[in-house]
Amino acid sequence: MRIALLAESGHPYAAGEGGVWCDRLVRGLADHEFEIYALESAPQPPGAPIEPPPHVRAVHLAPRHLARPFHATPQTYGRRGRERFAGHFTDLAAALSAPFSRDAPEAERFAAGLYGLAALGRADGAALRHALRSRGALRLLEAACRAPGSGRLVQEARPVDLLAAMDQLAAALRPLSLPWYGRGALADADLCHALSGGTAALPGLLARHFHGTPLLVTEYGVRLRRHYLAPDPAVPSAPARALGAGFERLLAGELCRRADLLTPGNAHARRWQRRLGAPAARQRTVYPGMEAERFAAVGEAKLPSALAGEETGGPDGTGGPGGPDRAVGGERAPEGQTLVWVGRIEPAKDVIALLHAFAEIRREEPGTRLLLVSQGGGGPRNTAYEAHCRALAAQLFPDEAAGAHEVGDNPVSFEEIGGPELPDPAAAYAAGEVLVLSSVVEGFPTGLVEGMFCGRASVSTDVGAVREVIGGTGLLVPPRNPRALADACLALLRDPSRRARLGAAARARALELFTVEQNTAAFRGIYLELISHRATPRTGAAHRPFARPAEAAVRGNWTAGHQGRGTVPRWSRPAEGVHREGPAAGPAAGTASYAGGGEAR
């Protein structure tokens, strides 16, 4: 099977978890052929990319942003082409400018404008690129914003806002002018698999429209939700953001309605797709696959020792792996226990609430420590937030010293993965007894799953897909509630046996649901299912796999459709339907006829 993978910045060039997942999927399905179609949303990092496996036939990269200012580019369309462009772009701009309404007909007008522009781009991609960055397109967008019935924000758009909106719209419509839709490209693909929603899936939507190619869309994080929560900082004006949000919303709705199958990574993403118009019959939850082997040593080493002391608190009658209990019976925590937090330090993770919760924990259990492990990433905003968190930790927890002649130590430690103390994520999870997640916004909690592979009990805020991921293997608290977070952490710190049971259950759940193997097996079945229902390009009839058996290629007079004589071999028919041909009877006659004794084709 020939699979076209669609990504904004895909394998083997992407960095981050998306590229890693893509690489695992491709390498796990070596019995298929893959072609990668990627829109470069950002300059690629220096260094050689990952070498793709042999069954990746080609990698097609197209720059999403073109460094070309708006100017009076000479039109390459003729008069009729200009009229068609103006009509289609007017439909698209009017749909973007309309206020949000669930019952509005903007979706149909958006689809008509989108597919109309795609047809123009397929005929002449360069002309469409020039037209989208022309003054004529800018005037059409302005007219749509000023028209009666448009949204309040877009009516206030100034020329600078329209320029910014037109720039992001031209970038989002870049796939319409790419030469990917003819023979030798997406027209020859058996299936298009978009690795995310939004612009990355737009080539698959067009391939389905032009050629009937089945479209599979996988969303592990809802792109539209991310657009609402973290808009592009390069577009500061509200009117431009409103137009961009309108495009993202309408495109997401079109994908949800037209895709042959949607595979959200969790129930949270599934609910978003349902609200955008996705039928429940075309949704199937497939959890992202993660590599469990690199956490096996920590998980397997942790659980036996913890479970051995389930009744007595530890093999030696103490409180388990954390050290001797000051009071056995679940009222006091073992000395020197550590809470560990792993992630990217940013406002959405609400590390400040965790620090205030830890202050409550320290009042109850003075020997407890907090390890904050940063995975890096982020811009100046995240850097400023991390500096604020460090300053708050120094203020809440002054350095403590055991004696007058010893160096003080802060119970809150900030570390980064890759250093000598924590060379990899497994070492970070091994450094603590309880894993804490304090986010106020969360999609699929990758760090939480990694901690489950390591056999760690967890305390998490009930946001995003957290409840679905942990099931009953951890404690959930409301977000932005430091008191509840502190009480849940204390409950696990003071009960080693409960902590061990939850950790064992968490590891078992992660190995059952979130491994690379289950993810690859799920997509292997989905690929076969979608291609088995594909309509043939010529007749439009549903393709029935194995409807014509391999024996039909053998020379003989029994094959289906051969001048009306015979349909299947006699030996393959039911006993009551056997039809004897000629004077011969019995197995020998049937064998002779199959061996080529009949009339040549």
- In this structure, are 480 and 384 located in the same domain? yes
Q: Is residue 520 part of a domain?
A: no
Let me know: does 166 contact 70? Beta carbons within 8 Å: yes
Q: Looking at mean pLDDT, say which of 322-331, 505-514, 569-578 comes out highest.
A: 505-514
Let me know: does 350 contact 480? Beta carbons within 8 Å: yes
Give pLDDT tens digits for 258-298: 999 999 988 888 998 999 889 999 999 999 888 899 999 89
Alpha-carbon distance of 571 to 47, in angstroms, equals: 62
The whole-number pLDDT of residue 439 equals 95
User: Can you list the alpha helix ranges (DSSP code H) found in 187-237?
Assistant: 202-211, 223-229
- In this structure, are 381 and 506 located in the same domain? yes
DSSP 49: P
Alpha-carbon distance of 105 to 111, in angstroms, equals: 10
Hey, how many other C-beta atoms are within 10 angstroms of the C-beta on 524?
A: 16
- In this structure, are 452 and 495 located in the same domain? yes
Q: What is the CATH number of the domain that holds 395?
A: 3.40.50.2000
Q: Which residue has tokens 């609400």?
A: 350
Alpha-carbon distance of 18 to 23, in angstroms, equals: 9
Answer yes or no: is pLDDT of 197 > 80.
Answer: yes
Alpha-carbon distance of 370 to 381, in angstroms, equals: 24
The lowest-confidence range among 84-98, 193-207, 358-372, 562-576 is: 562-576
Q: Is residue 69 part of a domain?
A: no
- In this structure, are 435 and 410 located in the same domain? yes
Q: Is residue 42 part of a domain?
A: yes
Q: What is the mean pLDDT of the chain?
A: 80
- Enclosing H/E stretch for 293: none
The counts of H helices and E strands in the chain are 21, 12
The whole domain housing 558 covers 550-597
- In this structure, are 474 and 428 located in the same domain? yes
Answer yes or no: is pLDDT of 317 > 50.
Answer: no
- In this structure, are 337 and 379 located in the same domain? yes
Let me know: does 302 contact 454? Beta carbons within 8 Å: yes
Answer yes or no: is pLDDT of 405 > 70.
Answer: no
More confident residue, 253 or 568: 253
The whole-number pLDDT of residue 419 equals 78
Q: Is 93 helix (H, G, I), strand (E, B) or coil?
A: helix
Tokens standing for residue 64: 């999403």
The whole-number pLDDT of residue 561 equals 47
Among 282, 306, 331, residue at a domain's last position: 282
Answer yes or no: is pLDDT of 596 > 80.
Answer: no
Among 171, 193, 208, residue at a domain's last position: 171
Let me know: does 312 contact 345? Beta carbons within 8 Å: no
Among 258, 282, 306, residue at a domain's last position: 282
Residue 177 φ/ψ region, left for φ over 0, alpha for ψ in the -120 to 50 degree band, beta for the rest: alpha
Give pLDDT tens digits for 443-500: 889 999 999 999 999 999 999 889 999 999 999 999 999 999 999 999 999 999 999 9
- In this structure, are 411 and 312 located in the same domain? yes
Q: Is residue 189 part of a domain?
A: yes
Give pLDDT tens digits for 135-185: 899 999 999 999 998 988 899 889 899 998 998 899 899 999 999 998 888
- In this structure, are 271 and 236 located in the same domain? yes
Give pLDDT tens digits for 454-468: 999 999 999 988 999
Q: Is residue 231 part of a domain?
A: yes
Q: Is residue 543 part of a domain?
A: no
Cα dihedral sign for 115, 231, 283, 524?
positive
DSSP symbols for 311-367: TTSSTTSSSSTT---SSTTTTSPPTT-EEEEEE--SGGG-HHHHHHHHHHHHHH-TT
Average pLDDT of the residues in 515-532: 92
Alpha-carbon distance of 450 to 300, in angstroms, equals: 14
- In this structure, are 425 and 464 located in the same domain? yes
CA distances, 268 to each of 145, 212, 441, 491 (Å): 34, 30, 12, 28
- In this structure, are 60 and 132 located in the same domain? no
- In this structure, are 452 and 313 located in the same domain? yes
- In this structure, are 201 and 259 located in the same domain? yes
Q: Is residue 223 part of a domain?
A: yes
The whole-number pLDDT of residue 231 equals 67
Tokens standing for residue 192: 């298009």
CA distances, 89 to each of 41, 141, 303, 369 (Å): 24, 8, 61, 59
Q: Is this structure's pTM higher than 0.75?
A: yes
Cα dihedral sign for 475, 454, 353, 320?
positive
The whole-number pLDDT of residue 104 equals 67
Alpha-carbon distance of 22 to 53, in angstroms, equals: 12
Q: Is residue 74 part of a domain?
A: no
Residues paired with residue 369 on neighbouring β-strands, in sequence order: 338
More confident residue, 95 or 19: 95
Number of domains the chain contains? 4
